[in-house]
């Protein structure tokens, strides 16, 4: 049996260790990808929600998660060219973007599903929706920013921005 002094010292040390352990930040969640904090360089723009990116030494087709823009291939849809131009403005060829994965890293067409951020911190996916160039679309299970994307769409619709005014 420990003496009162030894017991007190043991409890103090245990409390300090628990306190230090709680300062370590969040543990990575299941599904986090090693490239979750990587950066990639824009190689080309395919349309308003798809581009090619050089990432970790690979050239990847990338589909922006949580959004859908009007098509420009094979048929040109209303506001498709404008959405493509906005993506090219936000993420021009040669731009370095921070990439973020969600739970499911690829779509059925083997494109990387990513959230993209410019060097100044602009959330590209959200910006396209907020400016009325895209609608919010849930890509289950990738729903990390669903609430923000949906709110931005509602505001763009209410303000009749972009495709909500023209189409």
Q: Which structure tokens are listed for 104?
A: 């499911």
CA distance 136 to 158: 14
Q: For 38-87, write each residue's pLDDT tens digit.
A: 999 999 999 999 999 999 999 999 999 999 999 999 899 999 999 999 99
140 is catalytic: no
Look up 63 and say whether it is catalytic.
Answer: yes
**Assessment of whether the complete model's pTM goes beyond 0.85:** no
Residue 18's alpha-carbon distances to 4, 9, 23, 26, 29, in angstroms, are 21, 14, 9, 15, 21
Catalytic site residue from 52, 63, 98, 131 = 63
Domains and CATH numbers, the chain: 39-166 (2.40.50.90)
Taking residue 134's Cβ as centre, other Cβ atoms within 10 Å add up to 30
Catalytic residue among 52, 84, 98, 111: 111
**127 in catalytic set:** no
């Amino acid at each position: 049996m420990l003496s009162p002094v030894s017991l007190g010292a043991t409890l103090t040390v245990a409390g300090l260790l628990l306190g230090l352990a709680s300062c370590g930040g969040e543990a990575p969640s299941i599904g986090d990808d090693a490239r979750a904090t990587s950066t990639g360089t824009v190689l080309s723009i395919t349309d308003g929600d798809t581009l090619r990116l050089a990432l970790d030494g690979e050239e990847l087709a990338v589909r922006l998660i949580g959004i859908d823009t009007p098509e420009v291939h094979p048929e040109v849809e209303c506001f498709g060219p404008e959405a493509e131009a906005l993506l090219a403005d936000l993420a021009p060829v040669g731009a370095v973007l921070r990439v973020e994965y969600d739970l499911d890293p690829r779509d059925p067409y083997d494109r990387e599903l990513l959230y993209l951020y410019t060097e100044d911190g602009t959330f590209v996916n959200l910006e396209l929706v907020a400016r009325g160039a895209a609608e919010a679309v849930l890509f289950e299970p990738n729903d990390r920013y669903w609430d923000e994307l949906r709110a931005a769409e509602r505001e763009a619709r209410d303000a009749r921005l972009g495709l909500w005014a023209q189409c």
